Amino acid sequence: MDHINLVATFSEFKEFKNIDRETMMRILEDVFRHMLIKRYGTDSNFDIIVNIDKGDLEIWRNRLIVDDKEITDENLQIRYSEAVKIEPDFEIGEEVSEELKMVDFGRRDILAIRQNLVSKIQEYEKENIFKKYKDRVGEIVTGEVHQAWKKEIMVMDDEGIEMVLPRSEQIPGDFYRKGDTIRAVVSRVEMKNTTPSIILSRTSPVFLERLFELEVPEVYDGLITIRKIVRVPGERAKVAVESYDDRIDPVGACVGMKGSRIHGIVRELRNENIDVINYTNNPNLFITRALSPAKIVNINIDEQSGRAEVYMKPDQVSLAIGKGGYNIKLAGKLTGYEIDVFRDSDVDYEDVDLQEFSDEIEQWVIDEFMKVGLDTAKSVLTLSIEELVKRTDLEQETIEEVVRILQTEFE
């Protein structure tokens, strides 16, 4: 095996590994210098010339001509009698450069060189991938689903780099097949056993923030600032925004004409409901906005305990709590207060607690009503059958029967 064929074989890595010419030359030189040090004890008197494009590699050994009887190091010195065979005009004290051929090394050395080269290239690739994606944490990437398993999805970018989207980082309702295109944010990059692990996320608030930057030019340009995002992925999100330019309506800009901007984000997030709220330093006003669409009568805030007592009309309680309690839970996370909802003081004392009907209505049905803030008979009766079906997870027939029982109480 001559040196040209050997290097031509090695250069195939350049095509498959996307390594630039200079880096490939450096890696090749490093590999051969490592071999020379191992074989001769030093590489200081060797010149290595690599030409990846032509598939050429030359190794030249430089030795000092000495008298035959004075030679002390066969690697650094050459006998005068041998030097004149190369060039009759050589004299003692001059330097001789000889080209080493691959056939001079032997099969074992060549195999070792190849293995070392593979190892070096893999090491370079891993470091390169780690550095590249470490700098992209928090950015949205688009890839193709390569494999979909129960606990995670393997995604490949356009360079064939593998990324992982764990089930815990997927939005409920996400379903992908091999070949599907997927968008997610780079959540973190780790080295596991010298191999870079790129973890993606679609549930992170950062993913939603980046989607706003893509859909809303004012956010991307910094004219609108996203102060905070809280999410229950696939269900509901609240986004607090503000603008230092009085001419810009931050909420209107984020939603767009007839919801044109927000709709694209909602579709990407599997129809997640997104509430865009004007940020304010006034805690009372911020809590009022965060609990929208419910209307509040009064708020008492205890700064020491971090709790807020919110009073509202009975028909507004269920709106404040929201389906599954998501509205009030997210409002608390957004504002930083533990929010307790109370009915306004002008309570209807003739109202009856739903628990009083436990002998006629099954407990699990009562629990479903209470989940959405309907804990008294009149709070249920003030809403239509259609609205009750919409807010709860109960069948219409069940709700009709409950309403009939409650109406009987007040006849």
**Residue 411 pLDDT class (50, 70, 90 cuts):** low
- Given a cut of 50, is residue 1 above it in pLDDT? no
What letter would DSSP give residue 48? Answer: E
Q: How far apart are CA 236 and CA 269, in angstroms?
A: 10
Q: Return the pLDDT at 13.
A: 55
Q: Return the pLDDT at 186.
A: 97
The per-residue b/e assignment along 295-332, b for 16 or more CB within 10 angstroms, e otherwise, is ebeebebeeeeeebebbbebbbbbbbbbbeebbbbbbb
Strand order in the sheet with 224-232: 224-232, 236-243, 273-278
- Counting DSSP H helices and E strands in the chain, the numbers are 16, 15
Mean pLDDT of 231-238: 95
Q: What percentage of the chain carries pLDDT values higher than 70? A: 91
Q: Which residue has the tokens 């090394």?
A: 105
Q: How far apart are CA 210 and CA 212, in angstroms?
A: 5
pLDDT single digits (tens) 38-84: 888 888 888 888 776 665 778 888 999 998 888 888 889 889 888 88
Query: Cα–chain-centroid distance for residue 167?
Result: 13
Q: Domains plus CATH for the chain?
A: 3-131 (3.30.1480), 136-201 (2.40.50.140), 354-410 (1.10.150)
Q: How far apart are CA 302 and CA 308, in angstroms?
A: 6
Residue 260's SS3 state is: helix
Q: Return the pLDDT at 370.
A: 84
Angle in degrees, 0-180, between the axes of helices 107-134 and 21-40, rounded to the nearest 10? 140
Question: Taking the complete model, does pTM exceed 0.95, yes or no?
Answer: no
Q: Do 274 and 213 meet the contact criterion of CB atoms below 8 Å apart?
A: no
How many C-alpha atoms does 322 have within 13 Å on its Cβ side?
21
Q: What is the DSSP annotation of 8-26?
A: HHHTHHHHHHT--HHHHHH
Angle in degrees, 0-180, between the axes of helices 314-321 and 326-335, rounded to the nearest 10? 70
Q: Return the pLDDT at 2.
A: 46
Q: Do 250 and 241 meet the contact criterion of CB atoms below 8 Å apart?
A: yes
The token pair that represents 233 in the structure block: 């992925």
Specify the length of the chain in residues. 411
Q: Which of 20, 126, 97 is nearest to 28 (CA)?
A: 20
Q: Which of 41, 45, 55 is nearest to 5 (CA)?
A: 55
pLDDT single digits (tens) 267-285: 999 999 999 999 999 999 9
Which range has highest mean pLDDT (33-37, 83-87, 202-206, 356-360)? 202-206
Q: Return the pLDDT at 197.
A: 94
Q: Return the pLDDT at 214.
A: 95
**Residue 327 pLDDT class (50, 70, 90 cuts):** very high
- Given a cut of 50, is residue 336 above it in pLDDT? yes
Q: How far apart are CA 300 and CA 67, in angstroms?
A: 102
Q: Return the pLDDT at 271.
A: 93
- Given a cut of 50, is residue 5 above it in pLDDT? no
- Given a cut of 60, is residue 8 above it in pLDDT? no
- Given a cut of 50, is residue 111 above it in pLDDT? yes
- Given a cut of 90, is residue 289 above it in pLDDT? yes
Mean pLDDT of 154-175: 93
**Residue 4 pLDDT class (50, 70, 90 cuts):** very low
Q: Return the pLDDT at 178.
A: 94
Q: How far apart are CA 328 and CA 320, in angstroms?
A: 6
What letter would DSSP give residue 281? Answer: S
How many C-alpha atoms does 76 have within 13 Å on its Cβ side?
9
